[in-house]
């Protein structure tokens, strides 16, 4: 079996030499260390601790963390490349790395005090998983309708409430938690805190049994008079809404990268299978109808990848990227679902069973249109940028 191009790699002209080498090292790691574990992790809904340690050793858990704090001191674009490349093999590992880098590490780098950075960043670069706790039962798309409260008592803050759908919740040691410290002020009372696992009154609750990305943990968090030091405030009191909005804009690029990687992985499987599967005396890749479906899928994946790369480049260049982030997330998530579905179709009956890889990727793809901002919210963001005051804001 051979192809005239390597569909597993993005266009080389779009990558600098250090980016190509970085991507190649992550690709080799994913093939060697992750691929043999994919089905086991999906069935057991867990990531082996040994694999997490290897991700830290690889250097992909602290990509933008400065070298002085034990990180790689690289760019946001490198984080996007890592998430994309890992997600070609297993999107569960992709999102683990994504949340660590684009949400947790980024929030601490931007809004953490010098003392907080000294305490947290070396841990996040070397051994500790982070989680980002914003969503609640009644606060999903309307993220600022949160009911979790924070009350100042002497030298401590006391947090009370419940968070849901928290990625990395099972493995995390550090949690960025959003609570309202002044409910009368509405969203202007929202404040971000760094909470350690084991803080008094803090419990990691139920781990969700999910359709896809099953190895990635999604948990509830319970705060029952949880006490944290005053120094746990991330940024300024009452400015947590700004932290949440700006960090999630970056996180959406990461989810776009995850979905592009998933789509590329599904396409790679489909290309290989159609060259091996024979019907009517020849490989099904020889049928023009199959060729055209693969060609259209490759075109869509390429377009989604370029949108993700543009958004990431703009972020690194400190240019506005709000619209580009929304566009790349909605595009990549829709492409991932279509391409994964095509792969199942091309595998035929084999695509519907767990012995073959595309069934899992099809399940994994669905979440891309839901988390870190639903597709409807992305469309609303884009429309507001296009139409300004013509779009009603309640």
Task: For residue 7, name the pLDDT band (cuts at 50, 70, 90).
Answer: very low
Domain with CATH 1.20.140.10 in the chain: 242-390
Tokens matching residue 116: 């907080």
372 is known as an active-site residue? yes
Angle ∠(80,14,274) on CA atoms, nearest 5: 80
* Helix, strand, or coil (residue 202): strand
DSSP one-letter code for 208: P
CATH class name, domain 131-238:
mainly beta
E-only strand ranges, 113-246: 130-133, 149-153, 156-167, 174-180, 190-196, 202-207, 218-229, 233-234
Alpha carbons 171 and 197: distance in angstroms, whole number: 10
Contact 330, 381 (CB under 8 A): no
Tokens matching residue 210: 């999910």
Alpha carbons 41 and 33: distance in angstroms, whole number: 12
Domain with CATH 1.10.540.10 in the chain: 12-128
Strand 156-167 to strand 218-229: parallel, antiparallel, or no bridges (unpaired)? Answer: antiparallel
Q: Give me the architecture of the 242-390 domain, per CATH.
A: Up-down Bundle (1.20)
Task: For residue 14, name the pLDDT band (cuts at 50, 70, 90).
Answer: confident
In terms of pTM, does the model score above 0.85?
Answer: yes
Which residue has better confidence, 52 or 4?
52
355 vs 249, 289, 334, CA distance in Å?
37, 26, 25
Mean pLDDT value across residues 79-95: 98
Domain with CATH 2.40.110.10 in the chain: 131-238
pLDDT in tens, 298-312: 999 999 999 999 999
The domain 12-128 is placed in CATH, from the list 3.30.460.80, 1.10.540.10, 3.90.25.10, 3.30.70.60, at: 1.10.540.10
pLDDT in tens, 232-254: 999 999 999 999 999 999 999 99
From the candidates 64, 84, 359, 372, give the one annotated as an active-site residue.
372
pLDDT in tens, 188-247: 999 999 999 999 999 999 999 999 999 999 999 999 999 999 999 999 999 999 999 999
């Amino acid at each position: 079996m051979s192809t005239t191009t390597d569909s597993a790699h993005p266009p080389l002209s779009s990558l600098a030499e250090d980016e190509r080498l970085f991507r190649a090292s992550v690709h080799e790691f994913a093939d060697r260390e992750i691929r043999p574990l994919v089905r086991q992790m999906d069935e057991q809904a867990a990531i082996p601790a040994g694999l997490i340690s290897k991700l830290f050793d690889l250097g992909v858990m602290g990509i933008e963390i400065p070298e002085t704090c034990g990180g790689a001191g690289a760019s946001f674009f490198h984080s996007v490349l890592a998430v994309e490349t890992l997600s070609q093999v297993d999107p569960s590992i992709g999102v683990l790395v994504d949340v660590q880098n684009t949400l947790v590490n980024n929030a601490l780098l931007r809004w953490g005090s010098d003392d907080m950075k000294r305490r947290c960043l070396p841990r996040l670069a070397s051994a500790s998983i982070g989680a980002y706790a914003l969503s609640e039962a009644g606060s999903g798309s309307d993220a600022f309708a949160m009911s979790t409260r924070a009350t100042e008592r002497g030298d401590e803050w006391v947090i009370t409430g419940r968070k849901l759908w928290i990625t990395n919740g099972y493995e995390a040691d550090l949690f960025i938690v959003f609570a309202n410290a002044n409910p009368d002020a509405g969203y202007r009372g929202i404040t971000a805190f760094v909470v350690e696992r084991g803080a008094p009154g803090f419990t990691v609750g139920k781990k969700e049994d999910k359709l896809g990305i099953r190895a990635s943990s999604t948990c509830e968090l319970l705060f029952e008079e949880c006490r944290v030091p005053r120094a746990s405030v991330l940024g300024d009191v009452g400015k947590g809404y700004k932290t949440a909005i700006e960090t999630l804009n970056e996180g959406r690029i990461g989810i776009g990268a995850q979905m592009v990687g998933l789509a590329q992985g599904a396409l790679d499987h489909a290309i290989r299978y159609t060259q091996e599967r024979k019907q009517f005396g020849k490989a099904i890749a020889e049928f023009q109808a199959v060729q055209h479906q693969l060609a259209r899928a490759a075109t869509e994946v390429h377009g989604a990848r370029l949108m993700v790369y543009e958004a990431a480049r703009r972020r690194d260049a400190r240019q506005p990227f709000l619209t580009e982030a929304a566009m790349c997330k909605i595009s990549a998530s829709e492409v991932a679902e279509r391409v994964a579905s095509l792969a199942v179709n091309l595998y035929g009956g084999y695509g519907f069973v767990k012995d073959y890889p595309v069934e899992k990727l099809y399940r994994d793809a669905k979440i891309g249109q839901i988390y870190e901002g639903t597709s409807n919210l992305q469309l609303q963001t884009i429309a507001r940028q296009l139409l300004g005051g013509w779009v009603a804001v309640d």
